Amino acid sequence: MKRSGSIVIHRPADEVFAFLAEVHNETSWRDSVTGSGYIGEGSAGVGADGYTEVSMGGKQVRMDWRISSFDPGRHVAWQLTGGPWQGGGAYTVRPLSDRTEVTADLEVRLAGALRMLEPVLGFQLGRGLRSDLVRLRQLLVVPAN
């Protein structure tokens, strides 16, 4: 299951990327995320390990991940290394004069008999991603002076 979504935010690209690179910020804009961070002394960069905790159906699920690609100020991608799913994702920011386009990509693969749940989970994943991006834009909006 692959899902992707984009949104334009009226804020400079470097500020948007800096916010996304601080993974603990995910709890403020991703609805199902209850915790997220780097493991140990980690920070954004290839090979950095982290975790994301999500609430699903009243259960807490932890997924560990590793950053697989990092272009400072522009792109970060990760692969899941532990948890109930396989897959990964990425955030890409693209400057548009006084605005920034943010694209979020997610990929989730289930194993065994759980693969039968992929169509339902894929629908929920796509809907959640779109809602999360709207919350991100609302959070980062710069008030008019």
pLDDT digits (tens, 9 = 90+) for 48-96: 999 999 887 778 889 899 999 999 999 999 999 987 778 899 999 999 9
Q: What residues does 101 pair with on adjacent strands? A: 8, 94
Lowest mean pLDDT, pick from 20-34, 54-68, 107-121, 125-139: 107-121
Band (1; pLDDT cuts 50, 70, 90):
confident
**pTM across the whole model:** 0.83
Q: Which of 82, 81, 99, 80 is nearest to 7 (CA)?
A: 99
Find out whether 141 and 29 touch, Cβ atoms under 8 Å.
Answer: no
Q: How many CB atoms lie within 10 A of CB 108?
A: 19
Amino acid type, 29: W
Predicted local confidence at residue 8, as pLDDT: 95
Q: What is the three-class DSSP state of 16? A: helix
